[in-house]
Amino acid sequence: MAYKPQQGRIARTAAFWSAVMLGLYACYTLNVELSGRFESLGEPLGGMVIPIVSVKLSIAFLISVALFVAWFVGLSIWLNRPKSADLLIETESELRKVTWPTMEEATNSSLVVIFTVVFLMVYMGLCDRALSALVGRYILGLEG
């Protein structure tokens, strides 16, 4: 199926860049782990440092960059597959149908949730204290 350029643009872009950032973080973590666990992988190749960013050009860095490039290309291919693209296009079209709450409705709903959580927290704490006292006094025979 051929897609129009603007069809599902927001959802597809958000999914792509979110996954790119996740891959970037994973590759950065991999670089740090490889450099830390295997000192030979973390040593600069010929003492070379990438100028502007001051990153040591090491085998660990090259492995991380290669995996990131593979992730980037694979992600681009995967998100443009018909099934993935259809899912993201449908998701965006469904989100356009959602009736979003006003700021006042969101604030009131949040306050109801906060008060309910606080009430339940106090109630459960008091129940816990009462049951602990009962168990301690009548089952364990402890003097309170």
Instruction: Tell me the domain boundaries of the chain.
Output: 1-98, 104-144
Confidence of residue 2 (pLDDT cuts 50, 70, 90): low
H-assigned helices in 80-102: 82-97
Better-predicted residue by pLDDT, 13 or 119:
119
pLDDT on residue 144 = 56
* Contact assessment for residue 68 and residue 23, using Cβ atoms and an 8 Å cutoff: yes
| 35-87 pLDDT per residue, tens | 888 888 878 777 777 787 777 788 888 899 999 999 999 998 988 888 888 88
Whole-model pTM over 0.85: no
Spell 86-117 as b/e; 16+ CB within 10 A means b.
Answer: ebbbebbeeeeeeeeeeeeeeeeeeeeeeeee
Q: Phi and psi of 141, rounded to 5°?
A: 75, 25
% pLDDT > 70, the chain: 95
User: Residue 78 is encoded by which pair of tokens?
Assistant: 């995967």
Please say if the pLDDT value at position 103 is more than 90: yes
